[in-house]
Amino acid sequence: MIPTPLTGLKSAIRGEVLFGEPMTHHTSFAVGGPADAFVVPYDADDVLNIYDYSCKMHVPVLVIGGGTNLLVGDLGIRGIVMKVGKGLDEILWEGDSVIVGGGVALSKFVSESVERNLAGLQYCYGIPGTVGGAVAMNAGTSAMYISRCVVEVGYILPSGEKMTLTHEKMGFDYRSSVVLRSGGLIEWVRFQLKPADPEALKANIEKIRDYRQRTQPWGYPNAGCVFRNPPAAFAGQLIDQAGLKGQRLGGVAVSDIHANFLVNMGGATSLDVIQMMMKVVGTIYNLYNIRLLPEVRILGEWSVPLPSWA
């Protein structure tokens, strides 16, 4: 059954529209209930049409990129889920400066920058998702955040208004930015990179690749690090010390390679994931009096009450 406010959506945009689409198909965790409407805009004009439609029909819009840092509730998402991808995936190189569409795969952009012997983004090697999503959540490692290379961002507000935000106006923080906090969509990002010695850059990439292969789980759906690092500590180290590595609940397990990863061992549900997160948070609080907070975004509707920290 298509909710009445969404029945005219297909005629309002040129892009793809799916009703009752399972979010298991669009999150790296491979869990989550259905979205009322799942749309992929054809271009930036389509984005404006979607926002215009949502305002007129009083329907909320949730913007996602690669779905790599999301935990969607088992009852799904009400309203419109807008996936930024094709249609916003151009890359315009201008020497060591570049304008990148929000829908470009981060892996593709990093690879192209390395091929051009440009440094600055090599620490993002192996991080999944889109450029827009990575900038919105200020993705990166303990060595570097992607925001370090961001000059300005083309931002579309939920109202449909367009604006350009400077680096300072983006309000970057640990795994956050004004875009993530306020909603809306990143249409494009201008990055400033630096020329680098090809051999040194290649060696750096190989070192990062080897480290990720040794320290992160492969072969099972996951959403990367599930919890933020608390002050002066590492979430994965605390979870490991608590003896939680390898523990399983339903179809989800704490990775035995990196304890801050929860992995879908097959048939996991979003309920399994949130219950395992609750177990980890409770255990760490009881042992160390430290309250872990989620790095993964917890969205949608749930069949159980969520904890206060979710």
Positive or negative: CA dihedral 160, 165, 15, 36: negative
Residues in a beta bridge with 97:
94, 192
Exposure string of 123-149, with b = 16+ CB inside 10 Å and e = fewer, is bbbbbbbbbbbbbbbbbbeeeebbbeb
pLDDT of residue 228: 94
DSSP-derived letter for residue 40 is E
How far CA 103 is from CA of 20, 165, 171, 279, in Å, comes to 23, 18, 21, 35
* Segment (H or E) for 262: strand 261-264
pLDDT of residue 215: 87
According to CATH, the topology of domain 4-83 is 3.30.43
Residues 6 or more apart whose Cβ sits within 8 Å of residue 296: 69, 70, 71, 223, 224, 225, 226
Exposure string of 83-100, with b = 16+ CB inside 10 Å and e = fewer, is bbbebbbeeeeeebebbb
pLDDT of residue 141: 80
Locate the domains of the chain by residue range: 4-83, 91-199, 218-299
Q: How many residues does the chain have?
A: 310
Identify the three-state secondary structure at position 195: strand
Phi-psi region at 79: left, alpha or beta (left = phi > 0; alpha = psi -120 to 50):
left
φ, ψ dihedrals at 58, nearest 5°: 55, 50
Report if pTM > 0.85: yes
How far CA 239 is from CA of 175, 283, 291, in Å, comes to 20, 8, 12
According to CATH, the topology of domain 91-199 is 3.30.465
pLDDT of residue 138: 95
φ, ψ dihedrals at 199, nearest 5°: -70, -40
Residues 6 or more apart whose Cβ sits within 8 Å of residue 211: none
DSSP-derived letter for residue 23 is G
Average pLDDT for runs of 10 along the chain of length 310: 91 96 97 98 96 96 94 98 94 97 96 95 91 95 89 96 97 94 95 96 91 89 95 95 97 97 97 98 98 96 95
pLDDT of residue 1: 77
Helix axis angle for 198-215 and 106-115, nearest 10°, is 150
Strand extents, DSSP E, 9-76:
16-22, 34-40, 61-64, 70-72
Count CB atoms within 10 A of the CB of residue 79. 18
Determine whether domain 218-299 maps to CATH 3.90.78.10: yes
pLDDT of residue 234: 95
